[in-house]
Each structure stands twice: as structure tokens, then as C-alpha cells.
Amino acid sequence: MLSEEEKKEIEEEARQYPTRKAACLEALKIVQKHRRWVSDENIRDIAAFLNMAAEEVENVATFYNLVFRKPVGRHVILVCDSISCWIMGYDNVLAYLGNKLGI
């Protein structure tokens, strides 16, 4: 269930768009800001609040890699793994972080 604060923030964002559906990504970001991730229940709640199908919200959530669908820690470290980063040795950075942080 969305909190009153989340509903208020989503409503404020939705007023800036021509349709409520257009505020879907912002709604996901608001819920994630408050809870650190977006659960299946949150997906259904956002869909109901924005008059959308849960599948539509799920599609948006899974398209963006910075919408976390599983619980994450307080700090999230993103390491580039594109071909250019791979050529420059991202795997060394990843290994160092893994060893240093014990993950």
C-alpha cells in the first residue's frame, strides 16, 4: 500500500504530465526513494493509483536498470561493463571492489 506521502508526491508529479500514465517512471522512482526498491505489491499499487495495468508498470520498471526490483543495500555501486570499459580493464576495478568490500 502506498503511503500518504508517496501518493502526494506521485500526484504532484502526475500533474506535470498530459496523462497519469506518463508519470509511471516518476512514481516508480518515488516509491524506490522511500523504500529502496519496488516490490510486486508496489507495482500493483502504482498501477491502481495511475489507472494502469500492473503489466504496464512492470514493463516500465524492468526496462530501466536503475529501478531495483529486489532489495538493495543503502549504498549501490554501479560499475560500467560496456565494451569500452571492458577494454580499459573494468574487471580489475570490479575485482578490487569485491575484495575490498567482501562482496
Length of the chain: 103
Domain count, the chain: 2
Same-domain check for residues 61 and 27? yes
Once rounded to an integer, what is the mean pLDDT over residues 64-91?
Answer: 93
> What share of the chain in percent tops pLDDT 90?
94
Provide the 10 A C-beta neighbour count for residue 10: 24
Same-domain check for residues 87 and 51? no
Q: Is the pLDDT of residue 10 over 90?
A: yes
Same-domain check for residues 19 and 67? yes
Q: How far apart are alpha carbons 72 and 74 in whole angstroms?
A: 7
Which of 51, 49, 52 shows the shortest CA–CA distance to 31? 49
Same-domain check for residues 14 and 50? yes
Same-domain check for residues 39 and 53? yes
Please list, in sequence order, all residues whose beta carbon lies within 8 angstroms of the beta carbon of residue 30, skipping any fewer than 6 positions away.
Answer: 6, 9, 10, 13
Same-domain check for residues 66 and 84? no
**pLDDT, tens digit (0-9, with 9 covering 90-100), for 27-57:** 999 999 999 999 999 999 999 999 999 999 9
Range of the domain at 1: 1-71
**What pLDDT, on a 0 to 100 scale, did the predictor assign at position 103?**
87
In this prediction the pTM is 0.84
Task: Confirm if 67 and 29 have CB atoms less than 8 A apart.
Answer: yes
Q: Residue 3 has what DSSP assignment?
A: -
Same-domain check for residues 13 and 63? yes
Once rounded to an integer, what is the mean pLDDT over residues 67-89?
Answer: 93
Same-domain check for residues 3 and 15? yes
